[in-house]
Amino acid sequence: MGLLIQDAWAQGAAPAAQGDPLFSMLPLALVFVVFYFFLIRPQSKRQKEHKEMVSKIAVGDEIVTAGGVLGKVTELGEQFVEVEVSAGVRVKIQRHTIGAVMPKGTIKSA
């Protein structure tokens, strides 16, 4: 039977490898560092920029919401913003749903 394939024989028990505990934790630490720089840090930076943008909104700014509604800010509150989406049509939205501040004149060109 051993012409083409070598026979497998059981080996004796190998001694337990006693490695440095630092080397066993190194892959876990490396994965955490990669997650921090590629996921956690950029997300917290985006949240900070969004919070700053929402706090600087003023009456007359043209905004787009996360749902895609384009309008002009007519009234500001602490938690809510009133947005005019069409002539005479006003909608109250929560501040955190504002997606972006658009350049002036966006509504007229849309």
> Which domain, by its residues, includes 48?
22-56
Give CA–CA dist 94/57, Å, rounded. 13
Number of domains in the chain: 2
74 band by pLDDT with thresholds 50, 70 and 90? very high
* CA angle centred on 85, ends 80 and 91, rounded to 5°: 35
Per-residue pLDDT reduced to its tens digit, 34-67: 999 999 999 999 999 999 999 999 999 999 999 9
Residue 98: exposed, middle, or buried by beta-carbon count in 10 A (0-12, 13-18, 19+)? buried
Token representation of residue 90: 């006003």
pLDDT at position 18 is: 63
17 domain-assigned: no
Q: Are residues 93 and 73 in the same domain?
A: yes
9 domain-assigned: no
Q: Are residues 77 and 34 in the same domain?
A: no
Q: Are residues 72 and 102 in the same domain?
A: yes
Q: Is the pLDDT of residue 13 over 90?
A: no
CA of residue 94 relative to chain centroid, distance: 20
pTM above 0.85, yes or no: no
Please tell me what DSSP assigns to residue 38: I
